[in-house]
A and B are shown apart, each in its own frame.
Chain A
Amino acid sequence: MDIEMSFSEEIANVMYASHGNPITDCLQCGTCSGTCPAAEFMDHTPRTIIGLINAGYKDEVLASNTFWSCASCYHCTVRCPAGIDIADMMYALKRYSMWKGEHQEGLIGPVFAQSFVKMIVDSGRSYEPLLAPTYIFKNGPRGLVQEMQTATGLMLKGRLPLLPKKIKGLKKFRNMVRRIIPIGEPT
């Protein structure tokens, strides 16, 4: 008879390559939340998220914006007295929620991540104007005007190219990607 896997175990499997200790080692000391520069934008603090995962509150965790607000500064990972790689856990939760297709509506993160990866695979480098539509309309007309002003300023100073640039040896780069992701013609 199979025993049903707990949410905490599922996350542990997604994090199997993490160099940190398992998240079940959490002491609930709150150092991660206290040190997190993005905590004020999160609906649950990192400490609460770890507590919720260990207690099996899967729906609450997946519905939260915590891991999508993570700025990946790794301050929590560095300071965690239990040696948990908390920033890596945030990435694991992002992957898990995209895999299961269960995340908050209207988040910038998932769409932004997909556009970014697609852009890198297509051209080998980042081109900001293509990424802009994923977030530019989120802050109302004033935000839009502000973004456009910044972009114009950058363009006038030659910091933002008008057309996307491709890297040299793009074909070799794509072959390399295909070695990692087995889609397309075998290399």
Chain B
Amino acid sequence: MNTKIMMIDDDPDFVAGIKSILEKADYSVDVAHNPKDGFQALQAGRYDLLLLDIMMGRGAEGVALARKIRKDPKLKEMPVLIITGLREQIAFLFPGQSVHPHFVETDELVEKPVEPKLLLEKVSSLLALAEEKKQKVPG
């Protein structure tokens, strides 16, 4: 079965680049450009992984979306890869400090710009981890 990835990011140029990298690696990618459309799509469809941007709408709204996903019984197990340019945009507030994930059960964070190789590595390791977890549950 084809692995389905959802991507929520409001930067159309960045989305186009990442989408083509993932599609070349045989993943099927759906895109939403704001958190509202993204959450609706996640609820309507079935996705194996979410790529999530942080800075959208009025500010760090990707964080709010990640927290909403964590509370949703259907979505909380879904692995989330956060891809963010947060540091570039608001690092003046917190010089030299690290950006941290841990909003959902399984998540990881990479900062923009992303190396294609690193992206594919993270995607496949998160998918493998989720698969492993799924198989453990019934046993």
Whether A4 pairs with B12 at a CB distance below 8 angstroms is yes
- Residue in B10, B34, B63 whose beta carbon sits within 8 Å of that of A182 in the complex: B63
Whether A184 pairs with B33 at a CB distance below 8 angstroms is no
Contact of B46 with A by CB under 8 A: no
Whether A17 pairs with B90 at a CB distance below 8 angstroms is no
Whether A13 pairs with B97 at a CB distance below 8 angstroms is no
A9 vs B31: C-alpha distance in the bound complex, in angstroms?
A: 14
Stretch at the interface among B53-61, B117-125, B127-135: B53-61
A16 vs B32: C-alpha distance in the bound complex, in angstroms?
A: 12
Main secondary structure, interface of B, reads: mixed
Number of residues of chain B lying within 8 A (CB) of chain A: 33
Contact of B98 with A by CB under 8 A: yes
Contact of B89 with A by CB under 8 A: yes
Given contacts A182-B54, A183-B93, A184-B97, contact A16 B86 (CB under 8 A): no
- Residue in B35, B36, B57, B90 whose beta carbon sits within 8 Å of that of A181 in the complex: B90
Whether B33 pairs with A13 at a CB distance below 8 angstroms is yes
- Residue in B36, B91, B103 whose beta carbon sits within 8 Å of that of A17 in the complex: B36
Given contacts A5-B12, A10-B10, A13-B10, contact A114 B102 (CB under 8 A): no
Contact of B101 with A by CB under 8 A: yes
Q: How far is the CB of B63 from chain A (nearest CB, A)?
A: 6
1/0 contact trace for A20-34 toward B, CB 8 Å?
000000000000000
Contact of B136 with A by CB under 8 A: no
1/0 contact trace for B40-69 toward A, CB 8 Å?
000000000000001111111101000000
Whether B59 pairs with A99 at a CB distance below 8 angstroms is no
Which residue in chain A gives the minimum CB-CB distance to B33?
Answer: A13
Q: How far is the CB of B39 from chain A (nearest CB, A)?
A: 11
Contact of A118 with B by CB under 8 A: yes
| Nearest 7 pairs of A and B residues by beta carbon | A16-B34, A5-B12, A183-B94, A184-B97, A13-B33, A13-B34, A186-B100
- List 7 additional contacts besides A5-B33, A117-B93, A183-B90; criterion CB under 8 Å: A10-B10, A16-B34, A16-B35, A181-B93, A183-B100, A185-B97, A185-B100
A-B contact pairs, 19 of them (CB 8 A): A4-B12, A10-B12, A16-B34, A16-B36, A17-B36, A117-B90, A118-B92, A118-B93, A181-B90, A181-B94, A182-B60, A182-B86, A182-B99, A183-B86, A183-B91, A183-B93, A183-B98, A185-B97, A186-B102
